[in-house]
């Protein structure tokens, strides 16, 4: 999209060159007559997957620079690279030292920042690369899923005044003990939003291999529809329930800091999806989107003593080992003595969860651990659900009509989730997409 289109959308704000002061007072121009904005552009793995694609990214960045904007570009590793790096760490040791895991998996982004800086220089753009520790992106010490604390943008702001483009490695930071950290898979979205917040950027454009956020993953059904505007809250739920188009933390951060995020294609020149406040959406669907998460594993602790403190001990120990627990069901005990406790964890956390639970066996005295990695969580999300009953009923009836058994259910104000066998993922998503009137050729 060109700058004029952005001005029409109300994005452009004037910046006093050299002082870095952001004046959100409407549209003004610089002395040279151009509208200026400070923008963060983020390019995902597919968008930088080959050297030709990196050159394409460089051309896009140059367009923004030529329009008079101050630009920071955040990049991921080339597609497939991080998966390969993760696989290597697992081949060496399944329960590995998370600090060394980070050293390995952060390396993919070092390649792409360097290549993109070179491609920009080749086009005559003044650009330099920045690794996480060079900026620095300060994080906590939870390796593998670190959280960003502070970002020092002093030097970057100074370089903007000299017309330099910052090419920043996504996904990585530096922990309290000066060791490399990573932000969890898909984390360069969060790097971009965090940088946009720290720089007081006018917008954060997330360029990817789809042209926006869809009613469901377009890889699952060709009937998925592009959404022009989606609320932060809905995007947060969709992301946390598995829609990988944005990392969950990036949406939470955008919501918290009021960062204007747009998801758009790095291959096509057209507007994408804006993530906005609820008040900016005129017509509200009951269900806005459907997400699925195959990266779940179900764990059942059989014969858990039915007494106070047991759940606290189990989930407290899992949390202490940085294992996130999602859905939880506890049955009422038949005999008042013991019961079964079922919950889900991310499949990459399953080995660690087992290790923690086995460590508790002596203390708790449960009889068995049964785990099932072959499950998938399907979620329907929409802020319209708050005022419209019957969403869960439609979900259960639709799945029943397809003969799909529901194993666990959980709800929030704007979401209903069910856990089903992973074998039925596509069938369930497609059936629900139709049932809620979301199909592109439907009348929803």
Taking phi over 0 as left and psi of -120 to 50 as alpha, with beta for the rest, 200 belongs to left
Q: Apex CA 288: angle with CA 283 and CA 289, to 5°?
A: 160
174 binds, among ligand ASP, ligand ADP, Mg ion, none (CB under 5 to 8 A by kind): none
The only residue of 69, 76, 181, 347 in contact with ligand ASP, by rule CB under 6 A: 76
Q: In this structure, are residues 402 and 431 in contact, taking their beta carbons and an 8 Å threshold?
A: yes
- CA dist., res. 204 & res. 189, Å (int): 10
| Minimal distance, residue 86 CB to ligand ASP, in Å | 8
Residue 438 interacting with ligand ADP (CB under 6 A): no
Stretch binding ligand ADP (CB under 6 A), from 40-48, 116-124, 161-169, 277-285: 40-48
Residue 44 interacting with ligand ADP (CB under 6 A): yes
Residue 76 interacting with ligand ADP (CB under 6 A): yes
The only residue of 49, 132, 175, 187 in contact with ligand ASP, by rule CB under 6 A: 187
Residue 144 interacting with ligand ASP (CB under 6 A): no
Nearer to ligand ADP, 47 or 338 (CB): 47
- CA dist., res. 248 & res. 11, Å (int): 24
- CA dist., res. 98 & res. 204, Å (int): 30
H/E stretch holding 65 reads helix 51-66
- CA dist., res. 397 & res. 258, Å (int): 38
Task: Give the x/- contact pattern for ligand ASP in 154-183, rule: CB under 6 A.
Answer: ----------------xx------------
Nearer to ligand ASP, 45 or 212 (CB): 45
Residue 132 interacting with ligand ADP (CB under 6 A): no
Residue 82 interacting with ligand ASP (CB under 6 A): yes
Q: In this structure, are residues 357 and 301 in contact, taking their beta carbons and an 8 Å threshold?
A: yes
Nearer to ligand ADP, 44 or 346 (CB): 44
349 binds, among ligand ADP, ligand ASP, Mg ion, none (CB under 5 to 8 A by kind): none
| Minimal distance, residue 266 CB to ligand ADP, in Å | 8
Residue 81 interacting with ligand ADP (CB under 6 A): no
439 CB neighbour count, 10 Å cutoff: 18
- CA dist., res. 279 & res. 382, Å (int): 14
Interface ranges with Mg ion (CB under 5 A) = 44, 186
Nearer to ligand ASP, 49 or 382 (CB): 49
Q: In this structure, are residues 109 and 189 in contact, taking their beta carbons and an 8 Å threshold?
A: no
Residue 253 interacting with ligand ASP (CB under 6 A): no
26 CB neighbour count, 10 Å cutoff: 9
| Minimal distance, residue 45 CB to ligand ADP, in Å | 4
The only residue of 213, 230, 404, 429 in contact with ligand ADP, by rule CB under 6 A: 213
Give the Å distances, CA to CA, from 101 to 82, 144, 218: 11, 7, 32
The only residue of 16, 59, 219, 386 in contact with ligand ADP, by rule CB under 6 A: 219
53 binds, among ligand ADP, ligand ASP, Mg ion, none (CB under 5 to 8 A by kind): none
- Considering only CA atoms, which of 100, 180, 444, 155 is closest in space to residue 287? 444
- Considering only CA atoms, which of 263, 257, 202 is closest in space to residue 27? 202
Stretch binding ligand ADP (CB under 6 A), from 129-137, 217-225, 363-371, 416-424: 217-225
- CA dist., res. 317 & res. 320, Å (int): 5
Q: 3-state DSSP: the chain helix, strand, coil percent, rounded to 5?
A: 35, 25, 35
Binding residues (CB under 6 A) for ligand ADP: these are: 44-47, 76, 186, 208-210, 213-214, 216-219, 243-245, 289
């Amino acid at each position: 999209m060109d700058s004029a289109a952005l001005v029409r959308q109300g994005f452009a704000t004037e910046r006093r060159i050299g002082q870095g002061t952001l004046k959100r007072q409407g549209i003004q121009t610089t002395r040279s007559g151009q509208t200026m904005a400070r923008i963060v552009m983020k390019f995902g793995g597919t968008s930088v997957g080959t050297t030709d694609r990196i050159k394409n990214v460089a051309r896009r960045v140059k367009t923004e620079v030529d329009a008079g904007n101050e630009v920071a570009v955040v990049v991921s590793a080339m597609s497939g690279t991080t998966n390969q790096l993760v696989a290597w760490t697992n081949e060496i040791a399944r329960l590995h030292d998370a600090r060394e895991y980070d050293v390995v998996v952060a390396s993919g982004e070092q390649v792409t920042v360097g290549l993109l800086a070179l491609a920009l220089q080749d086009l005559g753009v003044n650009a330099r690369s920045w690794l996480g520790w060079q900026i620095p992106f300060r994080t906590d010490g939870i390796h593998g899923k670190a959280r960003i604390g502070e970002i020092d943008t002093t030097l970057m702001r100074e370089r903007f005044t000299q017309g330099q483009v910052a090419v920043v490695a996504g996904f990585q930071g530096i922990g309290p003990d000066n060791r490399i950290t990573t932000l969890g898979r898909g984390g360069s979205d969060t790097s971009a939003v965090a940088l946009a917040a720290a720089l007081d950027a006018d917008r954060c454009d997330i360029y990817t291999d789809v042209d926006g956020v869809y009613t469901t993953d377009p890889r699952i059904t060709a009937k998925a529809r592009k959404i022009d505007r989606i609320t932060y809250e809905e995007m947060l739920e969709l992301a946390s329930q598995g829609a990988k188009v944005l990392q969950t933390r990036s949406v939470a951060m955008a919501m918290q800091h009021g960062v204007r995020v747009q998801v758009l294609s790095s291959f096509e020149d057209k507007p994408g999806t804006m993530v906005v406040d609820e008040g900016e959406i005129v017509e509200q669907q009951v269900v806005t989107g459907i997400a699925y998460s195959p990266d779940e594993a179900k764990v059942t602790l059989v014969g858990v003593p039915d007494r106070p403190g047991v759940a606290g001990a189990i989930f407290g120990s899992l949390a202490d080992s940085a294992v996130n627990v999602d859905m939880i069901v506890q049955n009422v005990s038949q005999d008042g003595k013991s019961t079964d406790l079922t919950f889900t964890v991310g499949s990459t956390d399953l080995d660690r969860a087992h290790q923690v639970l086995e460590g508790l066996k002596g203390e708790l005295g449960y009889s068995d651990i049964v785990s099932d990695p072959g499950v998938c969580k399907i979620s329907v999300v929409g802020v319209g659900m708050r005022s419209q009953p019957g969403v869960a009923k439609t979900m259960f009836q639709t799945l029943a009509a397809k003969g799909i058994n529901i194993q666990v259910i959980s709800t929030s104000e704007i979401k209903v989730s069910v856990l089903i066998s992973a074998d039925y993922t596509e069938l369930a998503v497609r059936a629900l997409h139709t049932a809620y009137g979301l199909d592109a050729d439907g009348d929803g």
